[in-house]
Each structure stands twice: as C-alpha cells, then as structure tokens.
Chains A and B, each alone.
Chain A
C-alpha cells in the first residue's frame, strides 16, 4: 500500500488536457515538495517536474505541476501520442524518514 495515492490510469484523445492527481498527508506532500517522474516501458524513469511546478530543461511546457495542501497534480495539455507512459509522484516523508512514491498512473492516448 503506497503512502501516496494516484489513479491507476488516465486517458484522453490527442489535443486534450489530462490531469493526474497525487494525494498524500501532512508528513509528505503537506510539508515537502513534490516531484514527478515519467517512465516509458522498458526504460529508466526520468525527472519531469520538480519542486511542485518546475520543469527541467527539455521537458515540454505542455507539462505543468501544482500543489495544494496535501495533494498535488500533473497536467498534460495538448496530449500527444508520445506522452503515453507511466507517471509517478514522489516526496520525502518526514515520519518515515524515507522517500515515497505514488503507485503510478498509466496515461493512454486514445
């Protein structure tokens, strides 16, 4: 059972906006920043959003992150077929003294 909660799947047609939620608690998202990682099948994860809403260089501005209280979200606008991947949220947990990941959300482009 993951400390962070994400929907198992999300989908949309090309061009649509898709939002993935990540819910936690006061010891993780509530008191620390949230990061998002993107993973294509058979490849290593890649950092996509850090510190709640910052994009590393090379990540398209179609991707945006936000955080409010003990929840965070990743939005993909103008969905493209190449966006099909698994997306994981993550944060440090002060109570566990450990990094925690969400279970991942598989994004499908219909």
Chain B
C-alpha cells in the first residue's frame, strides 16, 4: 500500500536549518511529484513547494525567498525538505504528500513532522 513515512520531531534555534525526510513506498516514486505543506499551530494548511523525482523539476513558494530546498534520493525513494535561517514563525507540522495527476489532488499524506523553533 502507498505510504509516506516522515522523520521525527525536531527542535532548533532561530537561524539554524532543518531537514525533514519523507520515505515513500508502495508506488513509483519517480512518477508522482511530492508536495510539501505546512501547518502552524492551530492554523490552516500552507503550500510550500513540490519536486518531481523523475524529471528533476521543482517549484517553491516565493514566500520562502530562497530558504527552501527540495531534493530527492531516487535510490532510497525519499524526498527531503530543507529550510534554512529558521524563524520562530517556522514552528509548524510539515507534511509531504503525493500528487495524483489523474485526480489533480494530493491523495496520500505523510504523518507529519513537527519542527519547533525555540531559543
């Protein structure tokens, strides 16, 4: 079955960087773009960017102004989201999700990774 398993909770100081991993199984990793979505405490969902492991194409929200890096390791069927120069407002649960082209939807989601930015 399709699964996206993310890395665990992390705590970082302002200015540091964090990398969240998203290991996929049960489907062709290179055939489905992976999107990243975050959710601040008590808030709604915010799209961050996507990457296609098959083509190498990627796109990030301008909101992150070069702080966001999306990569993949096709040998490990894993996607990575790296956010640098962390700020207090980056505290959130970060989700990876598979994009299903036929339905134009994010059909499977990881369990989420809590990133806390605290001094």
Q: Do A and B bind each other?
A: no
Binding site for A on B (CB under 8 A): none
Binding site for B on A (CB under 8 A): none
